């Protein structure tokens, strides 16, 4: 397995929230029959489509750790056919301003390339030109006659941005859906590393669905698995001009370990200690808002789960040019691996001792 | 004084250590079982072997506050709110940061240097900093870490006529009520939940209710009082001195009618003054408890507090005592008549 | 079925106070279910056994209303909303309390540019004093819209068609189903309008393999309406997405195939707002594949909601088809 190829393939694959099949298939192929099958003890998928990759623990009474990274991406959905053009709405929080002039793929009876257009600027009133284009003024042009469109497309068909992942300098990669396919890649890499290691905890890595619609996949998978502790892997804002250093983190400077109400203090401490012991550079983010990552779903599962959150810095979030550093991904997987080595029954017992 | 001690402890959401330690110390010799869970709820069991319905009494330990999210090169601390704080109350207040209780102030640009329009506008939280007197980032980092929390620094004391002043009365008053009820004996199993992280999304109670799975739950809260002359009468949700407030509905729950009726009936029989909470805004732990598992009957009894979620709130000590009395009478009514149906 | 719909819409049963409609539904279905019970929050569950796969079919019994928060010295009532109510549409409408007391909505004088909010509205029950008002109504009581059922032929207008029409469809399907192939749990849920609360706890107790809600949806077929591809009279709507749910692909395919096979008219629905009981059902325990059969409805959340009986018939047939198809 080559991480760079996996990242690029995952980024390009279609998989809006609730319709993750194609992106999920890449992971299924890797773990059901492929190379990854030897890294885990058991492969399964639950009723909402979460992929569950289980690796047994090697100690007595192995505590169960659930890792979560989401595979769904934000996207669009067909709402109406209008004289051969398509009208659409969003799945997940898309910045409407980035849509104009984007190439898309409409996943109808077959994949159809489309273009997002609007009334040309010449025909707009001067006030209109100064404003961002609204979703309701955008249309998708398939370049096909109305009849053909009607036979190939249905209301409710998913739409993704048509974008191949692009390698930039310094191991940076830009593309769509890096949120949170970058996390999925780190998860996969962690399982690969664990093959060589003797760990006490049972590791259940869950590639979750429907995170962008309200952490739905993590919510049901964490209920079903009822782990002793959980760790979510997601992305956080990367540095760019105009953002302060406490709200945006440097690309290439390592994983961001998060603290805040959703994070158990012992897990936060142990993540930092694991990073320091293994010479992994890391950054720290204090996050006060509760929802928005799988960590929230994990924390609130059943009678409560001690949870941690590690994020990969990512620039231009929720656009079609989300940019991450491959180095951060591998360092994140290294951090996860080292953290897992620290977990045993005694550690887990301690999580309830406040 | 119990209320004073509780109010002056710092326990911003997810950093409830000091409150939890204080409560544990006060109760551990008096109760059957006391334990904590993954979120830091402090849970107490009394009479688990007794027959009869399982009752859960809940009050949250945490208070609203600020989290340090960044440190400026100048040594000033960048903050974000934990829980809902009206950012307009923050200007020129004193806070204590972290376990070391390091003093800091929230500064403001002097009025002399403000433009005329500026004075009309609220200062946004993004423009506020905490000053601990550090000379630069390096010195600040020796005392404060990213993720540390700040609580208001306010002396709690008796105030005016039968009133009590302090910070965090929402919901140390609930904790005080639970401590009082813990002294009494009832004929059925009781689960006392001193919960964590209420102010950031009712999190402690959500997982506690799932774990305990009671037959009925009663939540104790400090609720917002609107009895100031600048509020219209019909918008005054509760009033100080009118007794415990009974919730019939809020954003989180429509309280089971039989439960509301039992509370009202109990208050009338025991001649305890009470009022309805005459607003449906806001939510309490009763909402998430009500939604746990296959559904749990849950209601809320509140002590009205003026200026809630600000550094200084006020409550009436008679309301506080009457809430204890009503809760006690309600629990005794369960001994006599069973659960409200 | 018109008579059933008339009966169901004429009772007043707001969220949290579903007793009257629950009693009515219970009477209708007693002969047609194997078991009937109520759970702790008041959901009414009718089981009909026929196969192994547990299917939860949900329609909510509650309707929107207003709850009294204050009675002033003159006897006017102040209130707050129970469920989604648009203050702009209230003035001049009537409301009715459980004891039959009728009130009319009025508004304070507004300064220019001032937005009409619920706190600027009041309910006038004709009381001449606070004392008289308190004899009729107390703080905490809930009223619903008061408006009669009108038969327009193929179409009907009534209050609370959201979601008594769903209840009627589920009752009718329960009556018609001859050969159930699944373990059916027809659930008439409470408190949907305040946050899918009944469905959440009912589903936890039932723990189904599949969940389908039957509820109303908006339309875009009126003059200068907000864009929406749903039209009255074009068949039952199979929901693909709303704010609470993106329909499980398996459920969407199941409903589409059944509609096609049985010649049931249908349309697809992508609603950019709102949610239904299925949103809560899908998140039950370790997850439940869920979908929605929607009935197009104009003027939602007003005292005059309108549906087309052809859509209603299509929905009944689709529900029966789900009941009579062996699902594994």
C67–chain B Cβ distance below 8 A for any pair? yes
Give per-residue pLDDT as tens, C270-282.
999 999 999 999 9
- Using CB atoms, which residue from A261, A306, A353 is nearest to B82? A261
Say whether both C101 and C230 belong to one domain.
no
Residue A80 lies in a domain: yes
Say whether both C70 and C8 belong to one domain.
no
Interface touch A223/C285, C-beta < 8 Å: yes
Instruction: Give A244's pLDDT tier (boundaries 50, 70, 90).
Output: confident
Say whether both C309 and C210 belong to one domain.
yes
Secondary structure (3-state) at C122: strand
Say whether both A90 and A69 belong to one domain.
no
**Would you say residue A326 has pLDDT above 80?**
yes
Say whether both A208 and A260 belong to one domain.
yes
CA torsion, ordered A324, A325, A328, A333, to nearest 10 deg: 80
Are A206 and A218 contacting, i.e. CB atoms less than 8 angstroms apart?
A: yes
Interface touch B68/A286, C-beta < 8 Å: yes
Residues composing chain C: 328
Structure token digits, residue A331: 């360092």
Question: In this structure, are strands B94-97 and B102-106 parallel, antiparallel, or unpaired?
Answer: antiparallel
Percentages helix, strand, coil for chain A (3-state, rounded to 5) are 35, 30, 40
**C-beta atoms surrounding A308 within 10 Å:** 29
CA nearest neighbour of B48 among B194, B190, B213, B183: B190
Question: In this structure, are strands C54-60 and C210-217 parallel, antiparallel, or unpaired?
Answer: parallel
**Would you say residue A267 has pLDDT above 80?**
yes
Say whether both A271 and A208 belong to one domain.
yes
Residue C152 lies in a domain: no
Say whether both C216 and C263 belong to one domain.
yes
CA B50 to chain centre: 30
Phi-psi region of B206 (alpha: psi -120 to 50; beta: other; left: phi over 0): alpha
SS3 readout for B218-277: EEEEEEECCCCCCCCHHHCCCCCCCCCEECCECCCCECCHHHHHHHHHHHHHCCCCCEEC
Give per-residue pLDDT as tens, C242-287.
999 999 999 999 999 999 999 999 999 999 999 999 999 999 999 9
Say whether both C134 and C78 belong to one domain.
yes
Transcribe B36-83 into DSSP letters: E-TT--EEEEE-TTS-S--EEEEEE--B-EEEEEEE-TTSPEEEEEES
Q: Which residues of B touch C197 (CB under 8 A)?
A: 290-291
Say whether both A121 and A251 belong to one domain.
no
Say whether both A260 and A149 belong to one domain.
no
Say whether both C196 and C262 belong to one domain.
yes
* Sign of the Cα pseudo-torsion (B313, B316, B320, B326, in order): negative
Residue A330 lies in a domain: yes
Say whether both C202 and C273 belong to one domain.
yes
Identify the domain boundary among A131, A161, A191: A161
State the count of interchain CB pairs (< 8 A) between A and B.
Answer: 82
- Residue from A18, A80, A134 to probe the interface with C (highest C Cβ count within 10 Å): A18
Supply the CATH number for residue A197's domain. 3.40.630.10
Residue C298 lies in a domain: yes
Residue C314 lies in a domain: yes
Residue A170 lies in a domain: no
CA nearest neighbour of B205 among B215, B188, B217: B217
Interface touch C269/A155, C-beta < 8 Å: yes
Say whether both A145 and A293 belong to one domain.
no
Interface touch B280/C194, C-beta < 8 Å: no
Cα of C300 to nearest chain A Cα, Å: 20
Are C45 and C202 contacting, i.e. CB atoms less than 8 angstroms apart?
A: yes
- Using CB atoms, which residue from A291, A300, A354 is nearest to B20? A354
A22–chain C Cβ distance below 8 A for any pair? no
Are C327 and C321 contacting, i.e. CB atoms less than 8 angstroms apart?
A: no
Structure token digits, residue C37: 């019970």
Instruction: Give A40's pLDDT tier (boundaries 50, 70, 90).
Output: very high
Say whether both A180 and A307 belong to one domain.
yes
**Would you say residue A122 has pLDDT above 90?**
no
Say whether both A186 and A216 belong to one domain.
yes
More confident residue, A134 or A205: A205
Residue C268 lies in a domain: yes
Say whether both C312 and C226 belong to one domain.
yes
Instruction: Give A291's pLDDT tier (boundaries 50, 70, 90).
Output: low
Residue A125 lies in a domain: yes
The residue in chain B having the minimum alpha-carbon distance to the alpha carbon of residue A349 is: B38
Interface touch A247/B35, C-beta < 8 Å: no
Question: In this structure, are strands B55-60 and B216-224 parallel, antiparallel, or unpaired?
Answer: parallel
Say whether both C309 and C220 belong to one domain.
yes
What domains, with CATH codes, occur in chain B?
2-63+167-337 (3.40.630.10), 65-152 (2.40.30.40)
The Cα B178–Cα C65 span in angstroms is 35
| pLDDT mean for each 10 residues of chain B (341 residues) | 97 97 96 96 97 97 96 95 91 93 90 82 86 96 96 96 97 98 96 97 97 98 93 91 97 96 98 96 96 97 95 96 98 96 89
The Cα C301–Cα C89 span in angstroms is 10
In angstroms, the Cα distances linking A63 to A272, A338, C23, C61, C73 are 21, 16, 49, 44, 64
Residue A169 lies in a domain: no
**C-beta atoms surrounding B231 within 10 Å:** 12
Burial of A59 (0-12, 13-18, 19+ CB in 10 A): middle
Supply the CATH number for residue C91's domain. 2.40.30.40
Q: ipTM greater than 0.90, yes or no?
A: yes
Supply the CATH number for residue C288's domain. 3.40.630.10
CA B101 to chain centre: 21
Q: Range of C165's domain?
A: 2-63+159-323
Q: Count up the domains in chain A and report the number.
A: 2
Element (H, E) at C193: none
User: DSSP secondary-structure letter at C76?
Assistant: P
Say whether both C78 and C202 belong to one domain.
no
Q: Which residues of C touch B280 (CB under 8 A)?
A: 67, 69, 80-82
Say whether both A54 and A186 belong to one domain.
yes
Element (H, E) at B104: strand B102-106
Residue A167 lies in a domain: no
Say whether both C289 and C189 belong to one domain.
yes
Are A26 and A191 contacting, i.e. CB atoms less than 8 angstroms apart?
A: no
Report percent pLDDT > 70 for chain C: 100
Please, which residues 113-152 of chain B have a Cβ atom closer than 8 Å to chain A? 146-147
Are A212 and A74 contacting, i.e. CB atoms less than 8 angstroms apart?
A: yes
Residue C91 lies in a domain: yes
Identify the domain boundary among A101, A130, A161: A161
Cis (ω within 30 of 0) for the bond into B171? yes
**Would you say residue C308 has pLDDT above 70?**
yes
Please compute the mean of the pLDDT values over residues A231-237 and round it to a whole number: 97
SS3 readout for A130-186: CCCCCHHHCEEECCCCHHHHHHHCCCCCEEEECCCCEECCCCEEEECCHHHHHHHHH
Q: Which residues of A169-201 are buried (b: 16+ CB within 10 A; e: fewer)?
A: eebbbbbbbbbbbbbbbbbbbbbbbbeeeebbb
Residue A186 lies in a domain: yes
Are C219 and C228 contacting, i.e. CB atoms less than 8 angstroms apart?
A: yes
Residue C17 is predicted with a pLDDT of 96
**Would you say residue A274 has pLDDT above 90?**
yes
Interface touch B146/A303, C-beta < 8 Å: no
What lies within 8 Å, CB to CB, of B85 at 6+ separation is: B64, B65, B66, B309, B310
Give per-residue pLDDT as tens, C6-19.
999 999 999 999 99
**Would you say residue A247 has pLDDT above 80?**
yes
User: DSSP secondary-structure letter at B124?
Assistant: P
Cα of B131 to nearest chain A Cα, Å: 17
Partners for B (CB, 8 Å, 3+ pairs)? A, C
Q: Tell me, yes or no, if B198 is annotated catalytic.
A: yes
Residue C117 lies in a domain: yes
Question: In this structure, are strands B42-46 and B163-166 parallel, antiparallel, or unpaired?
Answer: unpaired
Q: Which residues of A touch C267 (CB under 8 A)?
A: 155
Interface touch C240/A155, C-beta < 8 Å: yes
Q: Which residues of C touch B235 (CB under 8 A)?
A: 119
Structure token digits, residue B120: 């009309």
Radius of gyration over alpha carbons of chain C, in Å? 20
Average pLDDT of chain A to the nearest whole number: 95
Query: Which residue is it, tokens 């279609």?
Result: A14
Are C206 and C281 contacting, i.e. CB atoms less than 8 angstroms apart?
A: no
The Cα B206–Cα B195 span in angstroms is 9
Structure token digits, residue C178: 């001859």
Say whether both C179 and C133 belong to one domain.
no
Please compute the mean of the pLDDT values over residues C102-131 and round it to a whole number: 92
Structure token digits, residue C43: 């959901």
**Would you say residue A126 has pLDDT above 90?**
no
What lies within 8 Å, CB to CB, of C101 at 6+ separation is: C125, C136, C137, C143
CA nearest neighbour of B306 among B242, B234, B220, B252: B242
- What is the number of helices (H) and of strands (E) in chain B? 8, 17
CA nearest neighbour of A262 among B277, B200, C189: B200
Q: Which residues of A touch B35 (CB under 8 A)?
A: 352
The Cα C241–Cα C247 span in angstroms is 6
Q: Range of A54's domain?
A: 3-73+176-350
The Cα B323–Cα B244 span in angstroms is 5
Identify the domain boundary among C121, C145, C169: C145
C124–chain B Cβ distance below 8 A for any pair? no
Residue C151 lies in a domain: no
Say whether both A134 and A46 belong to one domain.
no
Residue A87 lies in a domain: yes
The Cα C7–Cα B78 span in angstroms is 61
Element (H, E) at A65: strand A64-70
Residue A120 is predicted with a pLDDT of 83
C248–chain A Cβ distance below 8 A for any pair? yes
In degrees and rounded to multiples of 5, residue B161 shows phi and psi of -100, 100
Residue B6 is predicted with a pLDDT of 98
CA nearest neighbour of C303 among C124, C157, C186: C157
Say whether both A207 and A307 belong to one domain.
yes
Structure token digits, residue B20: 């939890």
The Cα C324–Cα C51 span in angstroms is 10
Supply the CATH number for residue A87's domain. 2.40.30.40
Radius of gyration over alpha carbons of chain A, in Å? 21
Q: Count up the domains in chain C and report the number.
A: 2
Q: How many CA atoms lie within 13 A of A264 on its CB side?
A: 30
> Lowest-confidence range among A240-249, B30-39, C67-76, C248-257?
A240-249
């Amino acid at each position: 397995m080559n991480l760079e190829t996996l990242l690029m393939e995952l980024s390009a694959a279609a998989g809006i929230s609730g319709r993750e099949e194609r992106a999920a298939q890449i992971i299924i192929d890797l773990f059901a029959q492929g190379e990854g099958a030897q890294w885990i003890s058991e492969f399964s998928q639950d009723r909402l489509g979460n992929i569950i990759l289980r690796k047994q623990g090697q100690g007595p009474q192995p505590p169960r750790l659930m890792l979560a990274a989401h595979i769904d991406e934000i996207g669009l959905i067909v709402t109406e056919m209008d004289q051969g053009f398509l009208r659409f709405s969003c799945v997940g929080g898309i910045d409407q301003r980035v849509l104009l002039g984007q190439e898309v793929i409409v996943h109808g009876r077959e994949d159809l390339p489309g273009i997002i257009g609007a009334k040309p600027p010449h025909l707009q009133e001067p006030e209109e030109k100064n404003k961002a284009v609204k979703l309701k003024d955008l249309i998708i042009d398939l370049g096909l006659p109305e009849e053909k469109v009607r036979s190939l497309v249905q209301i409710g068909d998913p739409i993704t941005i048509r974008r191949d992942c692009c390698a930039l300098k310094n191991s940076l990669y830009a593309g769509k859906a890096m949120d949170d396919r970058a996390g999925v890649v780190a998860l996969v890499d962690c399982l690969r590393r664990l093959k060589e290691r003797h760990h006490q905890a049972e590791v259940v890595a869950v590639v979750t669905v429907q995170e962008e619609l309200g952490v739905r996949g993590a919510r049901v998978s964490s209920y079903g698995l009822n782990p002793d502790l959980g760790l979510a892997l997601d992305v956080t804002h990367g540095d760019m001009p105009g953002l302060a250093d406490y709200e945006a983190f440097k690309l290439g400077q390592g994983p961001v370990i998060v603290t805040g109400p959703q994070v158990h203090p012992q897990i936060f401490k142990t993540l930092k200690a694991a990073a320091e012991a293994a010479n992994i550079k890391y950054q720290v983010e204090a996050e006060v808002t509760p929802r928005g990552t799988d960590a929230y779903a994990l924390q609130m599962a059943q009678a409560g789960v001690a949870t941690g959150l590690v994020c990969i810095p990512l620039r231009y979030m929720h656009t079609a040019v989300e940019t991450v550093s491959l180095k951060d991904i591998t360092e994140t997987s290294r951090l996860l691996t080292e953290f897992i080595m620290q977990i045993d029954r005694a550690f887990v017992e301690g999580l309830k001792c406040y | 004084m119990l209320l004073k001690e509780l109010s002056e402890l710092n326990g911003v959401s997810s950093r409830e250590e000091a409150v939890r330690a204080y409560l544990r110390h006060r109760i551990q010799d008096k109760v059957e079982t006391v334990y904590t869970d993954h979120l830091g709820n402090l849970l107490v069991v009394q009479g688990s072997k007794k027959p009869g319905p399982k009752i859960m009494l809940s009050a949250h330990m945490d208070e609203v506050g600020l989290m340090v999210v960044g440190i400026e090169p100048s040594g000033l601390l960048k903050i974000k709110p934990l829980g809902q704080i009206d950012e307009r109350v923050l200007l020129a207040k004193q806070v204590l940061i972290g376990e070391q209780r390091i003093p800091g102030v929230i500064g403001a640009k002097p009025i002399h240097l403000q433009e005329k329009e500026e004075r009309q506008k609220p200062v946004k939280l993004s423009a506020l900093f905490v000053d601990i007197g550090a000379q630069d980032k390096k010195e600040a980092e020796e005392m404060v870490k990213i993720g540390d929390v700040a609580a208001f620094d306010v002396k709690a004391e008796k105030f005016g006529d039968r009133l009590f002043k302090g910070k965090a009365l929402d919901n140390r008053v609930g904790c005080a009520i639970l401590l009082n009820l813990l002294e009494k004996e009832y004929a059925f199993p009781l689960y006392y939940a001193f919960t964590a992280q209420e102010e950031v999304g009712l999190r402690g109670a959500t997982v506690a209710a799932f774990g305990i799975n009671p037959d009925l739950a009663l939540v104790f809260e400090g609720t917002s009082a609107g009895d100031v002359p600048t509020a219209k009468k019909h918008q005054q949700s509760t009033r100080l001195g009118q007794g415990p407030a009974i919730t019939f509905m809020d954003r989180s729950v429509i309280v089971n009618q039989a439960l509301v009726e039992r509370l009202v009936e109990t208050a009338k029989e025991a001649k305890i003054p009470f009022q309805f909470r005459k607003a449906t805004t806001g939510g309490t732990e009763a909402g998430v408890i009500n939604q746990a598992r296959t559904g749990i009957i849950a209601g809320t009894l509140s002590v009205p507090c003026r200026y809630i979620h600000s550094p200084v709130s006020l409550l009436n000590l008679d309301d506080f005592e009457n809430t204890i009395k009503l809760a006690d009478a309600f629990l005794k009514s369960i001994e006599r008549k069973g659960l409200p149906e | 079925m018109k008579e059933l719909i008339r009966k169901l819409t004429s009772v007043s049963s707001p969220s949290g106070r579903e007793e009257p409609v629950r009693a009515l539904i219970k009477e209708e279905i007693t002969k047609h279910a194997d078991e009937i019970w109520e759970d702790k929050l008041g959901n009414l569950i009718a089981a009909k056994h026929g196969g192994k796969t547990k299917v939860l079919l949900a329609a909510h019994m509650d309707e929107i209303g207003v709850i009294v928060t204050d009675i002033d010295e003159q006897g006017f009532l102040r209130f707050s909303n129970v469920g989604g109510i648009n203050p702009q549409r209230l003035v001049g409408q009537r409301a009715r309390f459980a004891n039959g007391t009728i009130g009319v909505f009025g508004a304070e004088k507004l300064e220019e540019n001032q937005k009409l909010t619920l706190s600027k509205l009041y309910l006038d029950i004709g009381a001449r004093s606070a004392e008289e008002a308190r004899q009729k109504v107390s703080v905490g009581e809930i009223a619903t819209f008061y408006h009669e059922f009108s038969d327009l032929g193929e179409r009907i207008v009534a209050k609370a068609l959201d979601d008594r029409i769903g209840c009627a469809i589920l009752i009718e399907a329960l009556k018609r189903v001859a050969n159930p192939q699944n373990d059916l749990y027809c659930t008439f849920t409470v408190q949907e309008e305040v946050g899918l609360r009944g469905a959440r706890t009912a589903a936890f107790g039932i723990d189904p393999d599949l969940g389908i809600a039957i509820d109303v949806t908006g339309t875009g077929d009126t003059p200068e309406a907000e864009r929406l591809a749903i039209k009255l009279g074009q068949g039952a709507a199979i929901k693909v997405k709303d704010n609470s749910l993106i329909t499980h692909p398996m459920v969407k395919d199941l409903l589409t195939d059944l509609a096609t096979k049985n010649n049931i008219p249908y349309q697809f629905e992508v609603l950019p707002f709102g949610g239904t009981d299925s949103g809560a059902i899908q998140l039950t325990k370790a997850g439940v594949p869920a979908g929605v059969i929607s009935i197009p409805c104009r003027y939602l959340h007003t005292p005059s909601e309108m549906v087309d009986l052809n859509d209603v018939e299509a929905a009944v047939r689709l529900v029966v088809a789900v009941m009579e198809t062996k699902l594994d």
